[in-house]
A = this chain, B = another copy of it.
Amino acid sequence: MNTPPLYRQLANHYLDAIRSGTLKTGERLPSIRLMMEKHAVSLSTAVQVCRELEDYGVLEARPRSGNYIRQPDSAPKPAPALAPALDTSLYAGIHEQVCAVLKASQHSTIKVNFASAYCAPELYPLKTLQDNMIKTMRSDAYLLGAAGSTCGNGALRNILARRALASKTHLAPERIVITNGATEAINLALRAVTRPGDTVAVESPTFYGLLQILESLNLRVLEVPASAHTGLNLAALQLLLQGPERIKALIVVPNLQNPLGSIMPDANKARLVKLCAEHNTVLIEDDTYGDLVDSEQPLSTLKHWDRTDNVIYCASLNKTLAPGMRLGWISAGKWHDRVEMLKHTQSRGCEVLSQLAVSEFMRTPSYERYLRRLRKTLTVQREQMSTAISRYFPIGTSVTHPQGGTLLWVELPRRHSSMVFFQEALKVGIQISPGDIFSNANRFDHFVRIGCGAPYSPRIDEALQTLGRILKNQG
Docked complex Cα distance between A473 and B130 (Å): 54
Docked complex Cα distance between A76 and B211 (Å): 56
Partner of A137, one of B130, B144, B148: B130
Partner of A324, one of B130, B145, B323, B346: B145
- Within A95-153, the residues touching B (CB, 8 Å) are 95, 99, 118, 120-122, 124, 126-127, 129-130, 133-134, 137-138, 141-148
Residues of chain B with a CB closer than 8 A to A277's CB? none
Docked complex Cα distance between A325 and B322 (Å): 18
With A121-B142, A141-B127 known as contacts, the answer to whether A147 contacts B326 (CB < 8 A) is yes
B126–A144 CB distance below 8 A: yes
Q: Is A345 interfacial (CB 8 A cutoff)?
A: yes
Docked complex Cα distance between A169 and B380 (Å): 54
Docked complex Cα distance between A181 and B130 (Å): 24
A348–B181 CB distance below 8 A: yes
Docked complex Cα distance between A304 and B46 (Å): 55
A 202-237 binary contact with B (CB < 8 Å = 1; else 0): 000000010011011100000000000000000000
With A348-B326, A350-B326, A354-B351 known as contacts, the answer to whether A95 contacts B341 (CB < 8 A) is yes
Partner of A144, one of B124, B183, B341, B351: B124
Docked complex Cα distance between A348 and B144 (Å): 22
A187–B345 CB distance below 8 A: yes
Docked complex Cα distance between A346 and B323 (Å): 16
Docked complex Cα distance between A353 and B352 (Å): 13
Q: Is A347 interfacial (CB 8 A cutoff)?
A: yes
Docked complex Cα distance between A36 and B354 (Å): 56
A interface, size bucket: 35 or more
Residues of chain B with a CB closer than 8 A to A216's CB? 341-342, 345-346
Min CB distance A269 to B, Å, is: 27
Residues of chain B with a CB closer than 8 A to A143's CB? 126, 324
Chain A at the B interface: SS class: helix
Docked complex Cα distance between A129 and B133 (Å): 13
Docked complex Cα distance between A142 and B325 (Å): 12
Q: Is A318 interfacial (CB 8 A cutoff)?
A: yes
Q: Is A195 interfacial (CB 8 A cutoff)?
A: yes
Q: Is A180 interfacial (CB 8 A cutoff)?
A: yes
Min CB distance A23 to B, Å, is: 42
Docked complex Cα distance between A344 and B208 (Å): 12
Closest to A137 in B: B130
Residues of chain B with a CB closer than 8 A to A127's CB? 141
Min CB distance A430 to B, Å, is: 19
Residues of chain B with a CB closer than 8 A to A353's CB? 324
Partner of A183, one of B133, B212, B322, B348: B348
Residues of chain B with a CB closer than 8 A to A120's CB? 145
Binding site for B on A (CB under 8 A): 95, 99, 118, 120-122, 124, 126-127, 129-130, 133-134, 137-138, 141-148, 179-181, 183-184, 187, 195-196, 209, 212-213, 215-217, 318, 322-326, 341-342, 344-354
A-B contacts, 7 of them at CB < 8 A, read A124-B144, A126-B142, A126-B145, A127-B141, A130-B138, A145-B322, A213-B345
